[in-house]
Copies of this chain bind each other. A is one copy, B any other.
Amino acid sequence: MSDEYEHRLMSVAMEEAIKAKNRNEVPVGAVIVNSKTGEIVAKNGNRTIQLNDPSAHAEILVIREACDKVGAQRIPEFDLYVTLEPCTMCAGAISFARIRRIIFAAFDEKGGAVVNGVRFFEQKTCHHKPEVNYSVKGEEAGKLLKDFFKEKRKK
């Protein structure tokens, strides 16, 4: 898989993160891609406020949509691109969905669960570990989040 391909897909996730910001949601976006065909099957951003749903992180929303489209609770041919390191909840859902590969942009020291925090995919209670790549457009995604929370604190 070329760097250019991953950057292109992360740009789509970034667009979703910006849309989330414009809804006043934490600016995180995600995309799910069929690894065989390259087709984007779902893209979305955080909607926890809009939906009154603490589980409505970008990752959960695209996993639910992709699974619904495929008609299965496991989608092992699919890859997930997300602009922020997944949290504990989302890492669990990624594992249950049997996602083939995850690619994330910015690190999340405070709430991440892949290379930070509980490092869920390394644990015995994790029964499917996806391939992991990171730092694709990390600076851009990180800046979007940083600026968002800076603005919030001003208000």
Name A57's closest neighbour in chain B (CB-CB). B96
Contact of A117 among B52, B93, B125 (CB under 8 A): B125
In the assembly, how many copies of this chain are there?
A: 2
CB distance from A89 to the nearest CB of B (A): 3
Bound form: Cα–Cα A73–B53 in Å: 5
What would 28 A/B residue contacts be, using CB atoms closer than 8 Å? Answer: A48-B73, A48-B96, A49-B73, A51-B68, A51-B73, A52-B67, A52-B68, A52-B72, A52-B73, A53-B73, A54-B63, A54-B67, A54-B74, A54-B97, A55-B63, A87-B125, A88-B91, A88-B92, A88-B120, A89-B89, A89-B90, A89-B92, A90-B92, A92-B113, A113-B125, A117-B123, A118-B123, A118-B125
- Bits for A26-52, please: 1 = Cβ < 8 Å to B, else 0: 000000000000000000000011011
A88–B126 touching, CB < 8 Å: yes
The secondary-structure label for the interface of chain A is loop
Contact of A112 among B95, B118, B120, B125 (CB under 8 A): B125
